[in-house]
């Protein structure tokens, strides 16, 4: 169809004449004949826009969402409210259809929004410098490890078994290229047992998540002590919603903080695009991955914003760069800035508090079901795991028939958290409760779970 190529036939003929050609095919004379696709692509013909929408609605209707599948799943992807103001402002096409701000004179909108975002991430993390976003929580953790390995010139990384299994899996994938040696540190009673690390090379990085994957609040003190002992950097994973109540990783001694920013203004969306939060101490700014916006002035001494310390980045350092990040998640960062402004100082605390209240209420309701027991000890805030008397994967499937996304099946293998498909000595159900869940929904959920696990 070619809906979006505006040229008329007459215009094409005139343009071809201007460049001395007589057909569009001649444009491709530089492609050797043997390589040219003879019959064209084996794809359907284009269709009209209403037909596209109809097809996409057909696909969308095959997914079960919203009131049809009330969400009690989390595991790094949370069903928070996205208010109208955030939704509408994030759809502004000046943000949506802009490129990376290479020309700051015509990109002050995106640059200032990112500057405000960086300020907010700095405050959430309790660290001096935040970048303009990475792809997701996993990539933020991988980049944190790369920074620490470069700063300490050591390849060994201790990673808490309470870090998200998908994030640890991503780290393992990229370690095949960087050569990092990842040592998993087991959980005991739901929190990382730093005394259980086997003997070996001294680590350059120590990675912990708070709250951890099982929802348990971790004390960063022992991890910081281990980092001090080995002159390693402490990389603190954090949930930015919980930060409304909990101390920030920077307050507890983290050198680098990383996290998943999806809870602020981004819908679940099958897991992407999400938002990698990344912040570090000032002393590491020259190794900061990705883009960084700085405030400066223009020729008339007016406040202006620009991407800065560009010499860190891949297009300048090329093979000497410690990160290859170019395209990031700017629009999602802008959404987070808007959402955090909409929440405001009081609203962020209120959000965390409401999640904690719903979590307390739900946990008590589930633990009153015969056969359901705690998976961990230790305080939780917005998420918790329980043992259920049947296979948690089966429980989730049965609960879907009852209209609930019951949670995410979780396992522990040698003290390390794993996903439902992995070998595990112990299995449970990870349940998250956001500010959107009402008492009526939670009561119905608990009643349904009692029925399906009986």
* Residues in 133-192 at the binding interface with another protein, rule: CB under 8 A: 133, 135-139, 146, 164, 166-167, 169-170, 172-174, 176-179
Q: How far apart are CA 269 and CA 82, in angstroms?
A: 12
Beta bridge partners of 181: 156
Residues 453/97, Cβ–Cβ less than 8 Å = no
Nearest Cα residue to 366 out of 301, 445, 313, 433: 445
Residue 93 vs 199, nearer CB to another protein:
93
Sole window of 199-207, 223-231, 271-279, 383-391 interacting with another protein (rule: CB under 8 A): 271-279
- How many other C-beta atoms lie within 10 A of the C-beta of residue 108? 17
Residue 390 interacting with another protein (CB under 8 A): no
Sole window of 152-160, 184-192, 199-207, 292-300 interacting with another protein (rule: CB under 8 A): 292-300
Residue 368 interacting with another protein (CB under 8 A): no
Considering only 435, 445, 449, 452, the residue that binds another protein (CB under 8 A) is 435
Residues 240/277, Cβ–Cβ less than 8 Å = yes
Sole window of 151-159, 185-193, 331-339, 369-377 interacting with another protein (rule: CB under 8 A): 331-339
Q: Tell how far CA 77 is from the center of its chain.
A: 8
CA distances from 283 to 129, 229, 251, 341, 400 (A): 9, 20, 16, 28, 49
In the complex, the smallest distance separating the C-beta of residue 55 from another protein, rounded to whole angstroms, is 6
Considering only 254, 334, 372, 416, the residue that binds another protein (CB under 8 A) is 334
Residue 233 vs 338, nearer CB to another protein:
338
CA distances from 137 to 164, 424, 446 (A): 9, 24, 30
What is the token pair recorded at 145? 């490890």
Considering only 152, 341, 402, 415, the residue that binds another protein (CB under 8 A) is 341
Considering only 156, 160, 212, 328, the residue that binds another protein (CB under 8 A) is 328
Site for another protein in 60-89 (CB under 8 A): 60-66, 69, 71, 73, 75-77, 79, 81, 83, 85, 88-89
Nearest Cα residue to 210 out of 253, 173, 180, 169: 253
- Phi first, then psi, for residue 430 (nearest 5°) are -95, 125
What is the token pair recorded at 23? 């057909």
Considering only 159, 388, 405, 424, the residue that binds another protein (CB under 8 A) is 405
CA distances from 417 to 29, 303, 327, 375 (A): 57, 48, 31, 12
Residue 78 vs 194, nearer CB to another protein:
78
Considering only 101, 162, 265, 428, the residue that binds another protein (CB under 8 A) is 101
Considering only 109, 222, 253, 415, the residue that binds another protein (CB under 8 A) is 109
Q: How far apart are CA 89 and CA 94, in angstroms?
A: 10
Q: Is 80 helix (H, G, I), strand (E, B) or coil?
A: coil
Q: How far apart are CA 188 and CA 192, in angstroms?
A: 6
In the complex, the smallest distance separating the C-beta of residue 203 from another protein, rounded to whole angstroms, is 20
Residue 316 interacting with another protein (CB under 8 A): yes
Residue 270 interacting with another protein (CB under 8 A): yes
Considering only 22, 103, 189, 370, the residue that binds another protein (CB under 8 A) is 103
Residue 52 interacting with another protein (CB under 8 A): yes
Considering only 229, 390, 438, 454, the residue that binds another protein (CB under 8 A) is 438
Considering only 55, 201, 228, 391, the residue that binds another protein (CB under 8 A) is 55
**Residue carrying the six token digits 């040219």:** 36
Residue 125 vs 230, nearer CB to another protein:
125
Sole window of 38-46, 149-157, 188-196, 445-453 interacting with another protein (rule: CB under 8 A): 38-46
Nearest Cα residue to 242 out of 165, 354, 366, 386: 354
What is the token pair recorded at 222? 């022992």
């Amino acid at each position: 169809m070619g809906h979006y190529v505006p040229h008329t036939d007459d215009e094409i003929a005139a343009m071809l004449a201007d460049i001395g050609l007589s057909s569009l095919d001649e444009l491709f004379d530089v492609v050797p004949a043997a390589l040219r696709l003879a019959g064209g692509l084996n794809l359907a013909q284009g269709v009209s826009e209403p037909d596209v929408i109809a097809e996409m609605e057909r696909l969308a209707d095959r997914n079960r969402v919203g009131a049809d599948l009330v969400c009690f799943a989390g595991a790094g992807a949370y069903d928070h409210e996205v208010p109208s103001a955030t939704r509408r402002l994030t759809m502004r096409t000046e943000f949506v259809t802009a490129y990376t701000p290479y020309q700051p004179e015509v990109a002050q909108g995106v640059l200032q929004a990112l500057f405000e975002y960086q300020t907010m991430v700095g405050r959430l993390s309790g660290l001096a410098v935040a970048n303009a976003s990475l792809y997701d929580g996993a990539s933020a953790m991988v980049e944190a490890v790369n920074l620490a390995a470069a700063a300490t010139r050591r390849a060994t990384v201790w990673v808490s078994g309470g870090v998200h299994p998908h994030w640890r899996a991503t780290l393992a994938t990229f370690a095949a290229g960087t050569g990092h040696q990842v040592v998993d540190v087991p959980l005991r009673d739901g929190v990382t047992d730093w005394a259980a690390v086997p003997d070996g090379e001294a680590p350059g990085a120590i990675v912990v998540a708070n709250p951890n994957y099982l929802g348990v609040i971790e004390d960063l003190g022992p991890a910081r002590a281990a980092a001090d002992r080995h002159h390693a950097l402490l990389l603190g994973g954090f949930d930015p919603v919980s930060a409304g109540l909990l101390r920030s990783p920077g307050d507890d001694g983290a050198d680098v903080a990383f996290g998943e920013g999806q809870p602020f203004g981004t819908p679940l969306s099958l897991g992407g695009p999400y938002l990698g939060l990344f912040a570090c101490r000032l002393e590491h700014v020259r190794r900061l991955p990705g883009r960084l916006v700085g405030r400066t002035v223009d020729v008339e001494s007016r406040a202006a914003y620009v991407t800065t310390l560009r010499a860190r980045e891949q297009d300048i350092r090329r093979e000497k760069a410690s990160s290859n990040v170019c395209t990031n998640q700017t629009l999602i960062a802008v959404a987070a800035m808007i959402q955090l402004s909409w929440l405001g100082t009081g609203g962020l605390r209120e959000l965390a508090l409401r999640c904690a209240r719903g979590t307390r209420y739900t946990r008590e309701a589930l633990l009153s079901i015969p056969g359901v027991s705690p998976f961990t000890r230790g305080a939780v805030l917005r998420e918790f795991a329980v043992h259920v008397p049947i296979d948690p994967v089966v429980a989730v499937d049965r609960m879907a028939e009852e209209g609930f996304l019951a949670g995410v099946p979780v396992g522990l293998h040698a003290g390390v958290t794993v996903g439902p498909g992995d070998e595990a000595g112990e299995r449970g159900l990870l349940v998250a409760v956001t500010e959107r869940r009402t008492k009526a929904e939670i009561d119905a959920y608990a009643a349904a779970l009692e029925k399906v696990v009986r």
